[in-house]
Structure formats: C-alpha cells, structure tokens
Structure 1
Amino acid sequence: MKIEHIAIWVKDIDKVCEFYRKYFGGVVHPIYHNPAKQFTSRFVTFDDGARLEIMHRPDIDHVWPVTSLQSDMLTLGHAGVQAPRRDTRDRMFHVEHLGFAHLSFSVGSKGEVDRLTKQMYADGIQVVGEPRTTGDGYYESVVLDPEGNRVEITV
C-alpha cells in the first residue's frame, strides 16, 4: 500500500504549483476544471511517484491570518477568534491546529538542505526554521510555501 496523493486547498494554483516545481522538481500536470462545481485542480508529480493535488474553489477562502498580537494571545481572522500564542513562528501566517502539520521533502544531504534553504531565503521564501538537527535526529529546515503551508526540507 502507498499514499496515492495529498491535496491542498489554495487561492492561487499556478503560484503554488510553480513553488513545488521550482524548488522540489515537481512536474506540473494540465489543469482540470469542473465549471458546475467551480472546482479547479492540478497535480504535481515528483520523481518517486508522490503526488500533490493543488485545488481551488472560490468558496473555500478560510485562511485565518493573525490580525493582532496581545501579550500571550493571538486574534485570528475576521471572526476575532482568540488563540494562545506558542512562539514567534505563530505570527507568520497561521497558528498550529489539528490536522496535517507539514509536508516533508528529502533532498539527500545536509549540504543540499543548506543550499536549498539559502536559495529560498534569497528568493524571498519565508524560512521559519533554520537548518538544524532536531531532537529526534533529523537535519532539516522549515519554509512556508506561497500559501503559508509548512514545508520541511530534510536529508
């Protein structure tokens, strides 16, 4: 058994597909559009067969950006929902939540983790975790894709 694909709702399909193509070598497939459901998607396939489905529907627009910081609390989105602030990374685009936390790409070596992270930083990609060895032994960095999804770059 294997995971067939992972799907991500996004606002800008082309921008997100280009990120995964440029930095991780994904092959972007033709766009699919279902006008009756106002649904659009594209698959991005990687060398090992893994696939992402990058999806958009105009009624799915519920990113909860941080709208204010008050001591140890965050105010999220238009609803004014309050959530505890865990650390400075929460300020970027999101707050930790139940569900999928990140995608992880193995790039083969510590040197490639360092090189790719440095390239992304120079290109204006938000780096939220500098290259380091984690407590469980992974050498990784963490960046945000164009829609604020966490992406780990690891050996």
Structure 2
Amino acid sequence: PSKNYTSYFLSFGEDKTRIELMHIPDMQNPASRGNLKGLAHFAIAVGNAQTVDTLTERLRADGYTILSEPRTTGDGCYESAVADPEGNYVEITA
C-alpha cells in the first residue's frame, strides 16, 4: 500500500513457471527505478535463499553491478537484484 501498486503472479504448468504483472496507477514520466514505464524488471526464482546468496556473490565476482543486496522484502520475498548487460533490473528470488 505505501508504494501504491498492485502485483499479480500468473503460474503456468507443473513446473510453476511464473510471470509477475505490476500496475502503478499514478505512473508519471520515468525518473528512477521506482517510477518506470514499460518494463520495470525481470524476476527469476531460483528455489531458496542460499541459491540467491550464492548467485549474487558469483555475479558480483564476475563484475556485474549488484543493485540490491540479498534481503527479505516487505511482501516477504527473499531476493537480490543485479543489472544485466543492458542495464535492466533483474531480481533473483527464492
């Protein structure tokens, strides 16, 4: 509620592949990560918190920019975030 958005997860098939759709009703011109139009981020579920931590450290060692250290978010997800080579915000989630 404090960030004024809604988020929906669509699950597909037995492997539980998911797509998250977010809606921000008062979106304005993009100014920062928190205020984007179009693609906001990709999220990849890797199974557990230890794998999030391990992949975050591997990406850091490989020279990628870590945008958000591993943490538990306000909605209870354990995740980190990295910039891909094109600067997209990629979440690594448990």
TM-score normalised over the length of structure 2: 0.64
Match of 1:141 among 60, 77, 80: 80
**Which stretches in structure 1 are left out of the alignment for 5+ residues?**
4-47, 51-82
- For this pair of structures, how many residues does the alignment match? 70
TM-score normalised over the length of structure 1: 0.40
CA offsets per residue over residues 121-152 of structure 1, 9 Å max, x none? 01100100000000000000000100000100
RMSD (CA atoms): 2.5
Q: Give the deviation of 1:99 after TM superposition.
A: 1.4
SS of residue paired to 2:91? strand
More helix by share: 1
Match of 1:152 among 84, 91, 94: 91
Q: Give the deviation of 1:96 after TM superposition.
A: 3.8
Higher relative contact order (CA 8 A, sep 6+): 2
Matches within 5 A, 1:1-150: 96-150=35-89
SS of residue paired to 1:129? strand
Rg (Cα) greater in structure:
1
**Which stretches in structure 2 are left out of the alignment for 5+ residues?**
1-9, 18-29
